[in-house]
Amino acid sequence: MRITDKKDYPSYLYKVYSSWLGKIIGIRLGAPVEGWTDEKIKEKYHDRHGYLLDYGIFAADDDSNGPLFFVRALLKKNEITSEDIGNVFLNYIQEYSGFFWWGGVGVSSEHTAYENLKNGIKAPHSGSIEKNGLTIAEQIGGQIFSDCWGYVSGYDCDLAKELAIKASRVTHDGNGVQGAIFVAVAITLAMKEKDIYSVIDGAMEYLDKDMEYYQVMKIIKDFYNEHPEDYHLCFRYIKDNYGYDKYPGVCHIIPNSCLMMMAMCYGEGGFDKTMEMLNNCGWDTDCNCGNVGSILGALVGVRNIDSKWIEPINDILNASSCIGSENITTVSESAKLFSRLAFKLNGIEINDERHFDLPYATEGFFGDCKADEGLKCKGEVYKYSYYLGDDIYDSRYDPEFSPTIYPGYTIKVKADKDIVVFAETLNGKRYEAVNSLKIPSGTNLFIHKYGFKTDEYTVKDIVIEHTPELDYDFKDYKVDVYGPRYEGDSKYNLRGFVKHHGKYELENGLKLNGLITSGSLYDRYSEIDVELTVLDENYDFSIIFNCTGYMHYSAIRFNNGRVSLTRKDNEENVFSNSDFFIEKGHKILLKTRILNGRIILCDFSESYVDLGNINELYGLVGLSSRNGSAIRFLGLKLQ
């Protein structure tokens, strides 16, 4: 089986969506008891079936963050290396916040690898045994993030293995890489095979038979063949021989992989039976259930998964990358990304702009609505453009959000009859129009929700025109609180912005030593205005634009009487330099314009500097200050 034509896309998308949804179900099921023993789970939840906790809107999780963003190394090229994926790692991850567990260098594999990458140690050396030692290299992370390489493989097990190796070696080595291979190949096979045992046997053929990972997986599989009647016997065997006490580190791959093999064998391909058995065994429950849920989802398909698992998710997928608007997405939308990449790797371009075409794919709309070949609605339905603290269950993995809908955007909706389109601000003000709504501009105006309403109707399509008109007044600005973090303190978010690194405070404006961004990757604009005061004679700050992540952005940099146009694409380059003095203590308005393919900088006096060739402004916009500069930003406008 292989991808040969565009006509293969709908069936492939369905399988990827089913697999990805299976992973999201597993994460949600296992999250409440992550790290627990089986005894503690039984004492607390007894023999409860289904989800253990009603999360409502689940905030974010490392198990879904990884696949969602690491795969983007394939957006611009088909042949990628471990170094390319390491650069993606740095591009989308906030420094020391969100995305994964920042447990410390020498404790957390991902934290250790991140520090290596940041300090110029390229992948795959960043995750090697040679650099980090055996214990760090063989924790579970190489396995839990590898599902996406099965999604983009296009039924090609060799490709799934190749990509899984390249990706997992950014952070892991040894048995950690073997686990990544197993999961990616098993998902690829599950899209083609009919039973779980064929998937298991086929995936094991891609492993190194001299490695412990293969050997223990074979032992557990053989144990099942000898004792197929009771999984408790196998579980006891695993605890006695391959338990956490037998392996170093916080979360070693071998004990958890043994549980995965046990559950897949004794679960006999049944989704409910397998997932509940695995979760009840404890240890790294969300990781284990996520990987196995992904394999089973690909095997059985979404239409054969009980709705009790799917409906509470409501197609919502939140993340905790450094791009706030990308942290609010959906299971169905991201499944289309994976599927498009699979076809891209086979030389076939897919432009899938359909909405609500997959089962349960509500795209996060709440109300009386149901998705499958259109969103069938009664009355008012809405979705979130931006979350406040009370909207999501917790601040798991520290997500920071930027809105998905901004002032200046136009929302166009195609339905089977005229409907009212609305947008609601954080303070409850509503804007409404029939079929198409352009959101008006306003100072510190944020869209909380948007949606549509009439008596009974079917929505077929939504088009968002990304033409922002932003007006931030930092002299009167808000910080949003999202509740307790793992460390016990509270999670705060500078409203609408994501902090890549550094610190900020609001004191008669925004005092910043670091880098913050807002906006969408799809934004197009032509003017940026920044009002500020320099508080020290030595200053070094930038206006950020054309930004698609921390490793890819343009900047106008102001540094002690000089202004320069710079571009960072993994490395920073300077394209122009001019004199431009800013006096300490004086308020200044800096205007950036695009005129005839040139980028022009103006000040209050309308004197200007031609900084060079740039045809358009796009993507995220932001501000940065470095080297301890004392800058008070007073306002930011975009149109």
623 shares a domain with 513: yes
User: Total domain count for the chain?
Assistant: 3
Residue 18 belongs to some domain of the structure: yes
Segment 375-403, tens digit of pLDDT = 999 999 999 999 999 999 988 899 999 99
Q: For residues 150 and 571, what is the distance between their CA atoms, to the nearest angstrom?
A: 31
HSE on the CB side for 469, CA within 13 Å?
A: 11
The per-residue pLDDT for 175 is 98
Name, in order, each residue with C-beta under 8 angstroms of 97's C-beta and a sequence gap of 6 or more: 320, 398, 400, 499
515 shares a domain with 455: no
Q: Judge whether residue 38 has pLDDT over 70.
A: yes
* Percent over 90 (pLDDT), the chain: 87
446 shares a domain with 594: no
Q: For residues 95 and 499, what is the distance between their CA atoms, to the nearest angstrom?
A: 9
Cis peptide before 124 (omega within 30 of 0): yes
The per-residue pLDDT for 606 is 65
User: Phi then psi for 189, rounded to 5 degrees?
Assistant: -70, -35
CATH number, domain at 375? Answer: 2.60.120
The per-residue pLDDT for 203 is 98
Higher confidence at residue 268 or residue 395?
A: 268
Name, in order, each residue with C-beta under 8 angstroms of 623's C-beta and a sequence gap of 6 or more: 510, 512, 515, 516, 530, 541, 542, 543, 544, 633, 636
Q: Judge whether residue 487 has pLDDT over 70.
A: no
Residue range 98-112: mean pLDDT, rounded? 96
Q: CB of 231 within 8 A of CB of 259?
A: no
For all residues of the chain together, what is the average pLDDT?
95
Q: Judge whether residue 485 has pLDDT over 80.
A: no
Q: For residues 561 and 391, what is the distance between their CA atoms, to the nearest angstrom?
A: 46
Segment 579-636, tens digit of pLDDT = 988 888 889 999 998 888 888 888 766 667 888 888 889 999 999 998 777 789 999 9
Residue 591 belongs to some domain of the structure: yes
HSE on the CB side for 484, CA within 13 Å?
A: 3
Q: For residues 369 and 372, what is the distance between their CA atoms, to the nearest angstrom?
A: 10
Residue 326 belongs to some domain of the structure: no
Residue range 559-579: mean pLDDT, rounded? 92
The per-residue pLDDT for 99 is 95
Residue 487 belongs to some domain of the structure: no
Q: For residues 337 and 398, what is the distance between their CA atoms, to the nearest angstrom?
A: 24
219 shares a domain with 77: yes
Segment 227-244, tens digit of pLDDT = 999 999 999 999 999 999
What domain range is 65 assigned to?
A: 11-48+58-318
The per-residue pLDDT for 507 is 87
173 shares a domain with 72: yes
Name, in order, each residue with C-beta under 8 angstroms of 240's C-beta and a sequence gap of 6 or more: none
Residue range 566-584: mean pLDDT, rounded? 91
Cis peptide before 484 (omega within 30 of 0): no
pTM summary value: 0.96
Tell me which of 299, 318, 337 is where a domain ends. Answer: 318
Strands (DSSP E) along 225-365, which ranges? 316-318, 328-330
Residue range 397-425: mean pLDDT, rounded? 96
- What confidence category does residue 372 fall into, taking pLDDT thresholds of 50, 70 and 90? confident
CATH number, domain at 633? Answer: 2.60.120.560
* Percent over 70 (pLDDT), the chain: 99
DSSP label at residue 5:
S
501 shares a domain with 453: no
CATH number, domain at 89? Answer: 1.10.4080.10
- What confidence category does residue 205 fall into, taking pLDDT thresholds of 50, 70 and 90? very high
127 shares a domain with 222: yes
Residue 232 belongs to some domain of the structure: yes
The per-residue pLDDT for 605 is 60
Q: Which of 406, 480, 392 is nearest to 442 (CA)?
A: 406
137 shares a domain with 40: yes
Burial category of 412 from C-beta neighbours within 10 Å (exposed 0-12, middle 13-18, buried 19 and up): middle
Residue 357 belongs to some domain of the structure: yes
Residue 324 belongs to some domain of the structure: no
Q: Judge whether residue 257 has pLDDT over 80.
A: yes
Structure tokens at 616: 């358009």
524 shares a domain with 588: yes
Residue 343 belongs to some domain of the structure: no
539 shares a domain with 403: no
Q: For residues 265 and 38, what is the distance between their CA atoms, to the nearest angstrom?
A: 19
Tell me which of 272, 299, 318 is where a domain ends. Answer: 318
The per-residue pLDDT for 228 is 97
240 shares a domain with 111: yes
Report the DSSP beta bridge partners of residue 316: 330
401 shares a domain with 296: no
Q: Which of 492, 530, 242, 247 is nearest to 389 (CA)?
A: 492
